[in-house]
Amino acid sequence: MSAYVVFLRERTLDATELDIYARQAPAAREGHDLTPLAFYGDFEVLEGPAIEGGVILRFSDMQAARAWYHSPAYQAARVHRFKGADYRVLLLDGIGATPAA
């Protein structure tokens, strides 16, 4: 069953640090099966606090998502995300196919 990592950027703190993160984070994808579903495109906040943008990544399951997030390559990039902006990051378990009615 798929799992999703959702990044919601709330506030930029240091654009230079975010640039470093943006250069390093793609390397963390190597060896991990993930699919970007949304990547800082057009958005509209319908409820809750404002955000500057968001990303949704799909993984094969929760274990694969956790393996990517806790990988040394992503942990090294993440340091720059922490310095660059305030984010909310969620890991969500997907649901299986709904049976036909």
- Sketch the domain layout of the chain as residue ranges: 3-93
- What pLDDT, on the 0 to 100 scale, is given for residue 97? 58
For residue 15, the one-letter residue type is A
Q: Please, what is the average pLDDT of the chain?
A: 95
- What pLDDT, on the 0 to 100 scale, is given for residue 26? 94
DSSP 3-20: EEEEEEEEEES-HHHHHH
The whole-model pTM stands at: 0.89
pLDDT per residue over 49-94, tens digit each?
999 999 999 999 999 999 999 999 999 999 999 999 999 999 999 9
Task: Map tokens 């949704």 to a residue.
Answer: 56
Query: Cβ contacts of residue 28 below 8 Å, gap of 6+?
Result: 68, 71, 73, 74, 76, 77
Burial class (CB in 10 A: 0-12, 13-18, 19+), 70: exposed
- What pLDDT, on the 0 to 100 scale, is given for residue 99? 55
- What pLDDT, on the 0 to 100 scale, is given for residue 98? 59
What CATH number matches the domain at 3-93, 2.60.40.10, 3.30.565.10, 3.30.70.100, 3.40.640.10? 3.30.70.100
